């Protein structure tokens, strides 16, 4: 049985492309594997708290933590427990101002934590940080108002969404990352429709990415009806 954690990061509750995408992805997965277990986390509507000085002190505390320090990390522990549970993390996020939404950044900061998702050892020289979790897949479903944001394209230097999420993916335990991006949302022209249609073509024919391809195809069909 596959365990799937669905994360929505859009501030929009209605008219959200990324919410539709994550829902369709999970539906398509269930059509292939009805026994898959899904948990949902909506950081767009219910964002985690930003890290604080108390949080940092608790995270880096040596030895046993005080009750107050444990309380400061309770939300972080809950979010990390969800990551540990999941085989597949399906993350739907828009691009805000060329980067990750603040709500999603707060979620990342709560999860990327010493002793839980990474270790730190100066004996490793200039690369002291190593991920602790492994074996997971991250499926990134994104939308952006502009286009030409992929590597080698005109606006690639402005794209701080996918590169950021790929950088932190190992600390989510993700050893496989695949993303489907819809562009030109604000243009509402044929390029936007084409980005939806083209989303599935670069998807490898291997599980679980074939499910993303099936999802993309379903999404395209839904837009054309």
Q: Which DSSP string corresponds to 117-162? A: TEEE-GGGTT--EEE---SEEEEEEEE-SS---STTSTTGGG--SH
Q: What are phi and psi of 118, to 5 degrees?
A: -150, 155
Sign of the four-CA dihedral 152, 164, 83, 30: negative
Structure confidence at residue 37 (pLDDT): 95
67/75 Cα distance (integer angstroms):
14
Q: What are phi and psi of 64, to 5 degrees?
A: -70, 140
Q: In which domain, by residue range, is 22 found?
A: 3-223
Mean pLDDT confidence for 5-12: 97
Domain of residue 36, CATH code: 3.40.50.360
The contacts of residue 42 (CB under 8 Å, 6+ apart) are: 7, 8
Structure confidence at residue 198 (pLDDT): 65
| Better-predicted residue by pLDDT, 52 or 224 | 52
Question: What is the pTM assigned to this prediction?
Answer: 0.86
- Is the pLDDT reported for residue 220 higher than 60? no
Among 39-43, 48-52, 181-185, 200-204, the least confident range:
200-204
Question: How does the average pLDDT of the chain come out, rounded?
Answer: 86
Helix 102-111 to helix 74-85 angle (10° resolution) is 90
- Contact of 168 with 176, CB cutoff 8 Å: no
Of the chain, the percentage scoring pLDDT greater than 90 comes to: 59
State how many domains the chain has.
1
Structure confidence at residue 129 (pLDDT): 96
Structure confidence at residue 28 (pLDDT): 82
Structure confidence at residue 155 (pLDDT): 72
Of the chain, the percentage scoring pLDDT greater than 70 comes to: 84
Give the pLDDT band of residue 207 (cuts 50, 70, 90).
Answer: very low
Give the pLDDT band of residue 63 (cuts 50, 70, 90).
Answer: confident
Mean pLDDT confidence for 58-70: 94
Among 97-106, 128-137, 153-162, 210-219, the least confident range:
210-219
pLDDT in tens, 146-203: 776 777 877 778 889 999 999 999 999 999 998 888 885 667 777 777 776 665 454 4
Give the pLDDT band of residue 225 (cuts 50, 70, 90).
Answer: very low
């Amino acid at each position: 049985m596959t365990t799937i954690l669905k994360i929505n990061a859009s501030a929009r509750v209605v008219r959200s492309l990324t919410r539709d995408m994550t829902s369709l992805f999970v539906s398509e997965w269930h059509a292939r594997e009805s026994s898959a277990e899904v948990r949902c986390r909506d950081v767009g509507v219910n964002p985690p708290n930003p890290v604080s000085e108390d949080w940092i002190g608790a995270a880096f505390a040596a030895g046993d933590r005080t009750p107050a320090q444990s309380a400061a990390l309770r939300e972080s522990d809950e979010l990390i427990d969800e990551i540990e549970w999941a085989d597949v993390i399906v993350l739907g996020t828009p691009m805000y101002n060329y980067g990750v939404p603040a709500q999603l950044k707060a979620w990342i900061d709560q999860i990327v934590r010493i002793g839980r998702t990474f270790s730190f050892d100066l004996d490793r020289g200039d690369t002291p940080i190593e991920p602790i979790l492994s074996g997971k897949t991250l499926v990134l479903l994104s939308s952006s108002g502009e286009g030409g944001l992929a590597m080698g394209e005109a606006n690639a230097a402005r794209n701080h969404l996918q590169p950021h999420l790929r950088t932190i993916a190992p600390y989510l335990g993700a050893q496989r990352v695949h993303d489907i991006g819809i562009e030109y949302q604000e243009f509402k022209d044929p390029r936007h429709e084409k980005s939806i249609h083209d989303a599935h073509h670069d998807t490898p024919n291997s599980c679980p990415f074939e499910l993303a391809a099936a999802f993309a195809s379903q999404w395209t069909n839904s837009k054309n009806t």
